[in-house]
Amino acid sequence: MILGLNMNLCVIGAGVVGLTTALELQREFRNANITIVADRFEQDTCSDVAAGLFRPGTSFCGPTEDITRKWISDAYRYWDDIRKTEEASDAGVAQLSGYIFSSTDPAIVRNHYIEKVLPLYRSATESELKLCPGEWKYGSFFTTVLTECRLFQPWATKKFLRNGGQIVTEKIDGFPNLSGKYDVVVNCTGMGAKNLCGDHKLVPIRGQVIKVKASWVKTAFYADYDTYIIPGFQGVTLGGCRNFDSYNSEPCKHDSAAIRERCEALLPSLKGAPVIREAVGLRPHRDPVRVETELVEFANGRLKVVHNYGHGGYGVTTAPGTAIYATRLVSDVLKSNSKL
Ligand SMILES: Cc1cc2nc3c(=O)[nH]c(=O)nc-3n(C[C@H](O)[C@H](O)[C@H](O)COP(=O)(O)OP(=O)(O)OC[C@H]3O[C@@H](n4cnc5c(N)ncnc54)[C@H](O)[C@@H]3O)c2cc1C
Of 35, 37, 49, 100, the residue with max ligand 1 atoms within 8 A of its CB, to mutate for a pocket test, comes to 49
> Which long-range contacts link 66-73 to residues 24+ away (Cβ below 8 Å)?
67/325, 68/113, 69/113, 70/321, 70/325, 71/318, 71/321, 71/322, 71/324, 71/325, 72/113, 72/114, 72/117, 72/317, 72/318, 72/321, 73/117, 73/321
In angstroms, rounded to a whole number, what is the distance separating the alpha carbons of residues 304 and 297? 9
CATH superfamily of 8-336: NAD(P)-binding Rossmann-like Domain (3.40.50.720)
Atom of ligand 1 nearest to the CA of 51: 8
Does residue 110 sit in helix, strand or coil?
A: coil
Q: What values do phi and psi take at 101, rounded to 5?
A: -120, 150
In angstroms, rounded to a whole number, what is the distance separating the alpha carbons of residues 294 and 308? 11
Instruction: Per residue of the chain (340 residues), give pLDDT as tens.
Output: 555 678 999 999 999 999 999 999 999 999 999 999 999 999 999 999 999 999 999 999 999 999 999 999 999 999 999 999 999 999 999 999 999 999 999 999 999 999 999 999 999 999 999 999 999 999 999 999 999 999 999 999 999 999 999 999 999 999 999 989 999 999 999 999 999 999 999 999 999 999 999 999 999 999 999 999 999 999 999 999 999 999 999 999 999 999 999 999 999 999 999 999 999 999 999 999 999 999 999 988 999 999 999 999 999 999 999 999 999 999 999 998 654 5
In angstroms, rounded to a whole number, what is the distance separating the alpha carbons of residues 17 and 151? 15
Atom of ligand 1 nearest to the CA of 239: 1
| Among protein residues, the one whose CA lies closest to atom 26 of ligand 1 | 190
For residue 234, the tally of other CB atoms under 10 A from its CB is 13
Residues lining ligand 1, Cβ inside 6 A = 12-18, 37-40, 45-47, 49-53, 171-172, 188-192, 196, 207, 209, 239-240, 281, 283-284, 309, 311-317
Of 169, 173, 189, the residue with max ligand 1 atoms within 8 A of its CB, to mutate for a pocket test, comes to 189
Q: pLDDT tens digits for 207-253?
A: 999 999 999 999 999 999 999 999 999 999 999 999 999 999 999 99
Indicate the domain borders of the chain.
8-336
Please name every residue paired with 260 in a beta bridge, in sequence order, or none if there are none: none
Element (H, E) at 89: helix 88-91
Q: pLDDT tens digits for 260-278?
A: 999 999 999 999 999 999 9
Of 169, 314, 322, the residue with max ligand 1 atoms within 8 A of its CB, to mutate for a pocket test, comes to 314
CA of 275 to the centre of ligand 1 (A): 23
Give the pLDDT confidence score for residue 295 in this predicted structure.
96
| Among protein residues, the one whose CA lies closest to atom 4 of ligand 1 | 50
Which residues are CB-contacts of 336 (< 8 A; sequence separation ≥ 6)? none
CA of 54 to the centre of ligand 1 (A): 15
Count H helices and E strands in the chain, helices first. Answer: 7, 14
